[in-house]
Structure 1
Amino acid sequence: MKNKDIRILFLYVLFFFVASCATQKKDKAIVKLIHTPTTIAPVVEDFVIDNSLDDVTIQEPINLFSDRKIWVDSVYNNMTFDEKLGQLFMVAAYSNKGTPHNYAIESLIANQKIGGLIFFQGGPVRQANLTNNYQSKSKIPLFIGNDAEWGLSMRLDSTYTYPWNMTLGAIQDMKLIEKLGNQMGAQSKRLGLQFNFGPVLDINTNPKNPIIGFRSFGEDKYNVAKRAVALMKGLQNQNIFATGKHFPGHGDTETDSHKGLPTVNFSKERLEDVEFYPYREMFKHGLSSVMVAHLNVPSLESRSNYPSSISYNVVTNILKKELGFKGLIFTDALNMKAASNYKKPGEIDLDAFLAGNDILLFPEDVPLGIQTLAKAYEENLFTEKRLEYSVKKILKYKYFAGLNKFKPIETNNLVADLNDAKNDALQYELYENALTVLKNQEGILPIQNLEKQKIAYVKIGDASNTSFVNTLKKYAEVTEVSDSNLDSLQSKLNQYTTVIVGYHKLDSPWKSYRFDGNQLAKLDFIAKNNKTIVAVFANPYALLDVKDFSGIEGLVVSYQNSTIAQEVTAELVFGAIAAKGKLPVSINEDFKTNDGLATTKLNILGFTAPGNVGMNPKILDKIEAVAKKAIDGKMTPGMQILVARKGKVIYQKAFGNFTYGVSPMVADTTMYDVASLTKILSTLPNAMLAYDKKQINMETTLGEMLPIFKSTDKQDIPFKDLLSHYARLKAWVPFYKATIDSKGNPLSAYYRKTTEENFTTKVADDLFLRNDYHDTIMKIIADSKLMPVKKYRYSDFTFIILKEYLEKLTGESLDSLSRNNFFKPLGANYTMYNPLQRKSKNGIAPTEIDTYYRHQLLQGYVHDMGAAMEGGVGGHAGVFSNSMDVAKMMQLFLQKGNYGGHQYFSEKTFDDFNTCYFCAEGNRRGVGFDKPQLGASGPTCGCASMTSFGHTGFTGTMAWADPETEIVYVFLSNRTYPDAGANKLSRENIREDIQEIIYEAIQY
């Protein structure tokens, strides 16, 4: 060989080596992009349009090292012509239609070699099993897709429902929407999908649009584009191909394309400026596929009533050439009347393919479609190159989706995986950010100064309002008022300061959201005659029917009627969250796109999912087993358990029943006798107020506080020692025993069965104590002997004394002080002494069957005998409450005296009372508060910080807060039912074990 020939050969080899390396580098880049699929589309398509031809040419660089190219070419080259045609068809499949339908799909796979399936109604496990079966029977792996615009639940039962696009359109944080896309994508992947046919890019400029509406992000092209890009990024981050739809734009139509052919009369200039804008933005960020709608668009297609889905000008000239889209192109479902009314099966398939679509979705007759395409090929209506273009593109996408190495879907735990607790966590965030306030006249939102409020709620609409009403009642006393006669209704509403109106429509995208005439009249009447807040749990377009907003002081758009939407709306009404959303559409001339007022967030307890405050919900779920153990072991018939962190309630559950027999189930609203929690819920905070006003200090002596203790051995006991249980006082005295005979019957010298003069202190049903016995109790305490050694000794005397002091100091009874100073301002409407004066017995758990003193079932009467002898109002016992109200007070303490923006007492006061002054002497107590154990045993799990504080109660209660972890834990029960004998609840460490689970659940 001559030197010249060698040089030529060397240059030839070098050329191919460089080309090969360059291509290999390109393929490595493509492989890398599989992990960031938002940029797949621009590089996944290596074909270009030859503008001189009606078909396409392939320009695939030589690449000896491309696994993708090898796989695609190998598969393609081994396909028959009919198999290639089959790849163009994506057939509708169902998992709820039974064996005949399943056999029909199998037949299409076996005989027509179809390329994919779009699943509709059914269930996730059934769909997964069918997918595995269908994939096993397909020579070439199938594309699997779902319409899952708001999650898999759009089509499948037993799956999670996320907010509609219109709701997302109100959200201003795009990271949240991308996070949603990630979760939707992960769920799609778990179910074995490659395509989610979304997001919808239609700009809904026509409120009368019957099929898009709520499916659109709104009427502003910029808002739609930003949210669509964010959702797409999330989906494609999970290697799920997003599909922008419905090109060229279905937003301004008044016909449902499932039923007829809608017309879009905009000029091409308008379409390019508005409708195409989201597509251009999506293409920049790597949209994988586009779905072309069945629309009549005269400015883009000259043929009259010619569907855009089969228009060469729309699909090829505009979408491919002018807009430069290189990804997969789907038709909209070919069975829709907008298409099927125009052409017959087979004909519509051919025309759609000739127009430039790659995949024919939901064809009505696949065999006929393939036959028609084959005949068209024979007649030279399209070339092999045109077919190769789409089929190889489909195969490339299958490769990028990993279908070249298909693995069957694992069905174990599938439903649980698709309904993971993190769904709720995100759902709270989404609705918290979507709620939109359009009116807030005179700052009616949030409702404050609860002690001055009397609030009514009126429902309008035909859907559930349970979550909204229940959550409202967790913040304040809210009365449901109804009457079909407007005058009668107003007569009832006249006594209320504020009326909350909830407009509740079925949370179904296919049901009407509009007000009817009677509902509009009712809303208008209420608004004109009352101070009114309206919450609209429906599509914001519902407000188009409201002609006059002038009478409405507060207007909240909640968008949907879901449980979480209702819950967070109640939070907004009372200030646990602030309004952040902006209106995605216009409401006549009253409210414009992007309108939305900010409201004030108050530091009150809200609600969220555990994951949003760094808690593991699966670990918290272990609480249920401990609760069951307590109930099954007859340690208590029922209980309430609440956990809050970082100002959010993340766990609130009721377990068991009122009693061990057939009895009501415990509810969140059930009231319990909280026993010694009374000390820190009622007496102590009032003492802190006195301390804050410098009416008392840590060194104030008992003799200075109350004259009865002067000249006794207790006169020099300092306040600090008294409340630290370090004053040498006796634990308690059974005061009642001196007032009954040897058989336990009440002595006539002390009791009457009915109220009489000087016998008005009600101890229980049909039992009234003489009024002066309180003086006897105080004298017994004053005369009691001190313990000989100064050491920690828990004593009820401390708070009996403190009650006496506070009532003498203020001239008010303790129940009045607590109600006015704390319970009413906090909205603690389930917290009170003597609950039977205000609440039904049916909502109060029984505490004990008393066989030794009152000889009756105690239900609504305080269990503690000494507190009973004080008419139910003791400093050490007597309060009834539920877990939510107890948590409010504990949160107030955790926030060092501030709650709802009101400073009840100073931070210094709280710190002074939460200090353990005698820890060095082995006394763990703070001033009034209990503190964690110093040794082996004590009130907590041993995992709470030393800055934590709380109290426990004899009836089986516990309230604890930890500043370091920002945890509030409340446990309420009636472990004393039917009798207060053996305290198995305490012996088995039930409360402590639950607390330990709570700390174990902390993730960060």
Structure 2
Amino acid sequence: MLTPDERIAQLIMVAGYSNRNGAYEDSLATLVRVHRLGGVVMFQGGPVRHAKLVNRLQALSAVPLLIAIDGEWGLGMRLDSTVRFPYQMTLGGMAGQDDLIYQMGADMARQCKRLGIHINFAPVVDVNNNPNNPVINFRAFGEDKYAVTRKGLAYMRGMQDNRLMTSIKHFPGHGDTGVDSHYDLPVIAKSRAQLDSLELYPFRELINAGAAGVMVSHLSIPALDSARNFPATLSSKILTNLLRDELGFQGLTFSDAMNMKGLTKFYPAGVSDRMAVEAGMDVLEFTEDVPRAIAEIKQAITEGRITQASINARCMKVLLAKAWVGLDAYKPTVLDNLVADLNQPQSELINRKLIEASLTVLKNDGNLLPLRNLDSLRIATVALEAPTPTAFQQMAGNYTQIDHFNLTSAMADTTLARIQAQLANYNLLLVDVHLSNIRPGARYGMQAKTAALVQQLAATDKAVITVFGNAYAIDKLPGIDRARALVMPYQLTPMTEELSAQLIFGAIGASGRLPVTVNSQYKLGAGITTFSLGRLKYTIPEEVGISSAYLAQQVDSVVNAGLQAKAYPGCVVQMAKDGKVIYRKAYGQTVFAEPLGQPAVAITPRPVRLDDLYDMASVTKISTSTPALMRLVDLGLFDVDATMSAYLPGYKRSNKANLVWRDVLTHQARLRAWIPFWRETKNEDGSFKPKTFSNVRSRRYPIEVTDSLFLHRSYPDRIFEEIKDSPLNEKKAAGESEYVYSDLSFYLYPQIVKRLAGEDFEEFLKKTFYRPLGATTLTYKPRLSYPLNRIVPTEYDSLFRKTLIWGRVHDEGAAMLDGLSGHAGLFGSANDLMKLMEMYRQRGSYGGRQYLSPAVLTEFTRYQFPELGNRRGLGFEKPAYKYNANAPRSASASSFGHSGFTGTFTWVDPAYNLTYVFLSNRVYPTRENNKISSMNIRTNVMEALYKAMKRGI
């Protein structure tokens, strides 16, 4: 049985902080224990510290405490190391999809319950129709009362349906104020009719829908209570007559914080608490002087201004609320895995979906967005007020070659002028404006020159501007309407930056609409719909129904086993499902730490990076020759059922004249597997034969094989003659397979492409595929375009080149062709190789462009001669009929790809919408190390993806 004092105490919630010292916590514990308080509102701190403190306080309470948090945008609003959902104005930008807001509320409930929190003082259902509102502003869903109501209802239901109490706020409506009630008492000089029509509308609707709590604010509203300097918190006309009697609210009323100057400026602590209870308040939040508050309320009971029965009734409401949230079976918060439990991938997925749905395109001249024709664009990103590379810049760099610039208003004018002069070299500027503050009182975080810089860049007539900040800030940026496109993500976070870049490049579409009127040009509801172009989207596995933890554990176990066995120094793994990149990770180092025994080539290991360039080895075949042939087929210039001599006139009298290209491309034309051309340049004593190599470059010896080894200019002709004149393998008996994997025909495709298309092989590939795809790192001879620290070394060649092969093709034959062949020589990053493979998966389409016809892709990637036991497509490797580790065990019959000698592998499985890239330098320091194959590392890594996909979340 609670004493009369304890019944009063149940109506009081004090503030709690878990980021203060032991003396503070002791004083809070004493306050709770001595006065038997009803609850604590927790503010700043961290989750573990919070849980420890709350557990301690609960242990001191005979009646469990009601623990509250003011977490409008999640626990991250108050606690570090926790989830931060979008601001409500960001959510206001969502055109529909209120079910996502419900999911957010439900996840909020999950997190709060895990942390021992029972009530969230949210949602804000104020209608923010005052752009200069200093306190609500971005905290509101917007200025449309219907949207505010709809979204607030979804948020409230998500929490309450999962047994988290809510307190809708700030009754009767704080949206049209120019004063912050934390510092003074705002006055809303509106008529009752105006209030009924706008401010009260969301409250009425949510109360009718079953709101558990209502927070009453410190507002003076003469139309509701004419008493001067009299906040709603203390007004019986507002608390009882309006809220209880007229609107029919039967839940718990909570005061706004009782320490706010909008109240304490006129009414002292304790006295104001008593006045609020007299007016009908159920729960006092953030009471500053507990003893005085209890004494004042007791005195009011004695004097008959408050009845004991009303105190008893309110106390019972609090106790029933505690039972509803589960405190009748209270258990302390378990500390084990607390941070991990609070930060579940499902929360990140909800966050991503909310932000993606809110992104708003406010201007899009000529339908510039999403960006098309990347090969026609010279792009620079310009990050304003961001001195270091931003998440926006890093994400944009995933889509194509981009140069990055970072400007701040603190830079010298001469520096700014120099950089702006450099920007003249680009025909598209992606400007990301970083506003460090969301509040109007801080000028939205604008520095002195921010607006001027935006105006100058917009005036170039080639700027796409993204403003990472409050939507109202647009009105403070004169000239921004000169931008070719304008994107509004509503706030500055790594996730808004990343998703905005993905929007610009067409990985995702835009459907957001402005939730407020910014100015006469950008009004409520403004927004332009854009659509995805099918470029790679970068997200988390949960978006495609896969557990990120399980996938990472499975992939890590395979890759790390290879690292431990020294199967390779390091590698990059990239996986995509449904066109969404769900796994990207760099492992290990570029080289082993042990010295090679060759001081002249000793290099310092460094961690592998995602954008490192690797020698693709035989993956070159399906990244250069095969797509080139497919394109020629589409153009009607090449027929796979023609003979070799049809496109190689010099072969008309050779033993290969009548070989059919379909047989050649499926490795059953009886061509020799390979020819060791380099060996023929050597004498028996190991020296080079005359007229083969020179140690000095010259017109006669122009082909650079190493820094000090140059091949004679005529030697490539000798290689091609040797291929033409090479004997065929003996014909097999009837019924026996003629299959022999051969490199030889792939030496010839650059010549065929040049003859049929009239362009050099590499330029044809870059113009037709790589540049439009944004796969700009795919290149031959990478030393010409990239520094060595971007390129991963391959083998120390102790037999032929006598040096470390670094930035030059590993394959000897390709090296003797100046690094360019159709069978080897291509370098690139995992991300850029995946773009090409993803284009294959999308049946020849990518980024809004059709590169190859679906018909030609179907033809090239199907089994050509299954009746002969030949597992090959045209150029492509396919799964063997009986598993032999050339493909993942679970790969479908429609899948295809290729492996490379240096330790590379890529695979596409259209049946499951999977695309996979594995790049390594397993030949470092020697090709004799074949553990990557004996351990089936490359295929087992992808098998982990199939396992994770089958397991689900």
Q: TM-score normalised to the size of structure 2?
A: 0.95
Q: Match of 1:571?
A: 502
Name the residue aligned to 2:467.
Answer: 536
Q: Give 1:787's aligned residue.
A: 729
Is 2:631–2:852's contact at 8 Å kept on the other side of the alignment?
A: yes
**What SS does the corresponding residue of 2:431 show, helix, strand or coil?**
strand
CA gap 1:437/1:745 in 2 versus in 1, 3 angstroms: farther
Does 1:495 pair with 2:442? Answer: no
String of CA shifts for 1:847-900, please: whole Å, max 9, x gaps: 122222222222211111111111111101111111111111111111111112
1:79 paired with 2:9, answer no
2:314 alignment counterpart: 390
For residues 334-345 of structure 1, the aligned pairs below 5 Å read 334-345=258-269
* Aligned match of 1:714: 656
Which residue, 876, 885, 893 being the options, matches 1:946?
Answer: 893
Instruction: Give 1:220 shift.
Output: 1.6
CA contact (8 A) 1:933 1:942 kept: no
Instruction: Please give the alpha-carbon distance, in whole angstroms, between the structure 2 residues aligned to 1:155 and 1:600.
Output: 36
Measured in 1, the distance between the counterparts of 2:127 and 2:684 equals 85
Which position in structure 2 is the counterpart of 1:814? Answer: 761
Cα distance per residue 1:898-937 (max 9 Å; x no partner): 1122111211111110111222222111111100122231
Give 1:704 shift: 1.6
Counterparts in 2 of 1:333-482, with a 5 A limit?
A: 333-462=257-386, 465-481=389-405
Question: Is the CA contact 2:474–2:480 (under 8 Å) kept in the aligned structure 1?
Answer: no
Equivalent residues of 1:930, 1:951 under 8 A apart:
yes
Gaps of 5+ in 1: 1-77
Query: 2:847 maps to what in 1?
Result: 900
Equivalent pair of 1:425/1:610 in contact (CA under 8 Å): no
Q: Residues 575-603 of structure 1, C-alpha deviation per residue, up to 9 Å, x if partnerless?
A: 11111100111111110011100113212
- Quickly say closer, same or farther: Cα 1:862–1:149, change in 2 above 3 A: same
Give the 3-state SS of the residue equivalent to 1:1001 in structure 2.
helix
TM alignment of 1:485-564, pairs within 5 A: 485=414, 487-506=417-436, 513-564=444-495
Do the aligned partners of 1:482 and 1:489 also contact (CA within 8 Å) in 2? no
Q: Secondary structure at the match of 2:716?
A: helix
The 5 A counterparts of 1:82-231 are 82-172=5-95, 173-231=97-155
Equivalent in the alignment of 1:585: 516
SS at match of 2:927: coil
Report the Cα distance in structure 1 between the residues aligned to 2:945 and 2:752, rounded to whole angstroms: 38
CA distance in 1, matches of 2:827, 2:18: 53
Which range moves more in the overlay, 908-917 or 104-113?
Answer: 104-113
Q: 1:608 aligns with which of 513, 518, 539?
A: 539
Query: Deviation at 1:327?
Result: 0.7
Offset, 1:106: 2.3
Of the three residues 606, 625, 636, the one matched with 2:557 is 625
Q: CA deviation at 1:731?
A: 1.5
Matched with 2:920 is: 973
Compare 848-857 and 351-360 and name the one that shifted more.
848-857
Q: CA RMSD in A?
A: 1.7
The reply to whether residue 650 of structure 1 matches residue 650 of structure 2 is no
Deviations 1:623-668 (A, max 9, x none): 1232222223221111111111111111111122211234332222
Q: Secondary structure at the match of 1:629?
A: helix
Q: Give, in angstroms, the shift of residue 507 of structure 1.
A: 7.2
Q: Is 1:962 the equivalent of 2:909?
A: yes
Distance between the aligned counterparts of 1:463 and 1:426, measured in 2?
Answer: 30
Does the CA-based 8 Å contact 1:675-1:877 persist in structure 2?
yes
Any idea what the Cα deviations from partners look like across 1:182-212, whole Å, max 9, x if unmatched? 1111111111111011111122222222222
2:224 matched residue in structure 1: 300
Please give the alpha-carbon distance, in whole angstroms, between the structure 1 residues aligned to 2:883 and 2:766.
38
Instruction: Work out which of the residue numbers 628, 638, 643 in structure 1 matches 2:570.
Output: 638
1:774 paired with 2:706, answer no
SS at match of 2:879: coil
- Name segments (4+ residues, structure 1) moved above 6 Å: 507-511
Residue 639 of structure 1 aligns to a residue in which SS? strand
- Output the CA distance in 1 between the equivalents of 2:472 and 2:687: 70
Q: 1:312–1:919: structure 2 CA closer, same or farther, 3 Å change rule?
A: same
Q: Which residues of 2 match residues 875-890 of structure 1 at below 5 A? A: 875-890=822-837
Give the match for residue 591 of structure 2.
659
Cα distance change, pair 380–493 in 1 and its aligned pair in 2 (3 A): same
Pairing of 1:277-288 with structure 2 (within 5 A): 277-288=201-212
Cα deviation, 1:483-525, whole Å, max 9, x if unaligned, reads 7445433421222111111101337779752434412111111
**Counterpart-to-counterpart distance in 1, 2:694 and 2:134:** 73
Shift of 1:677: 0.9
Counterparts of 1:594 and 1:441 in 2: how far apart (Å)? 18
Q: CA deviation at 1:410?
A: 2.1
Of all paired residues, the percent bearing the same amino acid is 39
Other structure's SS at 1:533 match: strand
Counterpart pick for 1:312 among 205, 220, 236: 236
CA displacement at 1:811 relative to structure 2: 3.0
Per the TM alignment, residue 414 of structure 1 is displaced from its structure 2 partner at its CA by 1.3
State whether structure 2 residue 665 is matched by structure 1 residue 723.
yes
For the Cα contact (< 8 Å) 2:572–2:830, is it kept in 1?
A: yes
Q: Counterparts of 1:774 and 1:425 in 2: how far apart (Å)?
A: 55
> Could you tell me how far apart the structure 1 residues matched to 2:930 and 2:444 are?
55
Aligned twin of 2:598: none
Shift of residue 814 of structure 1? 1.5
Indicate conservation of the 8 Å contact 2:578/2:913, yes or no.
Answer: yes
Of stretches 302-311 and 103-112 in structure 1, the one that deviates more from structure 2 is 103-112
Matches within 5 A, 1:982-997: 982-997=929-944
Q: Distance in 1 between matches of 2:607 and 2:135?
A: 44
C-alpha contact (below 8 Å) 1:464/1:504 kept by paired residues: no
* Partner SS state of residue 917, structure 2: strand
Q: Distance in 2 between matches of 1:505 and 1:463?
A: 13
Alignment partners' CA distance in 1, 2:375 and 2:582: 27
AA aligned to 1:875 is G
Q: Which moved more, 1:676-685 or 1:133-142?
A: 133-142
Note the C-alpha offset of 1:302: 1.5
Q: C-alpha offsets along residues 766-793 of structure 1, whole Å, 9 cap, x if unaligned?
A: 3221222221111111222212135221
Q: How far is 1:137 from its partner?
A: 2.0
- The code of the aligned residue for 1:551 comes to R
Q: Counterpart in 1 of 2:949? A: 1002
Contact 1:746 1:853 (8 Å CA) reproduced: no
- 1:723 maps to a residue whose letter is L
* Aligned-residue offset at 1:734: 1.4
Q: Distance in 1 between matches of 2:684 and 2:122?
A: 81
713 and 614 in structure 1: CA distance in 2 versus 1, 3 angstrom threshold: same
Amino acid in the other structure paired with 1:220? D
Picking from 859, 864, 874, the partner of 1:927 is 874
Aligned letter for 1:765?
D
Q: Matched residue of 1:889: which SS?
A: helix
Moved more, 431-440 or 392-401: 392-401
Deviation at 1:741, TM superposition (A): 4.1
**What is the correspondence of 1:831-870 to structure 2 with a 5 Å cutoff?**
831-870=778-817
Comparing 271-280 and 338-347, the one that deviates more: 338-347
2:641 aligns to what?
A: 699
Distance 1:276 1:878 in 2: 70
Indicate yes or no: 2:744 matched with 1:797.
yes
Separation (CA, whole Å) in 2 of partners of 1:218 and 1:463:
32
Residues 340-377 of structure 1: per-residue CA shift (max 9 Å, x gap): 22222210110111111100001011122111111221
CA distance in 1, matches of 2:113, 2:821: 61
Write the letter of the residue equivalent to 2:648.
Answer: L
Task: For 1:579, give the aligned amino acid.
Answer: A
Q: TM-score, normalised by structure 1?
A: 0.90
Which residue number in structure 2 is paired with residue 27 of structure 1? none
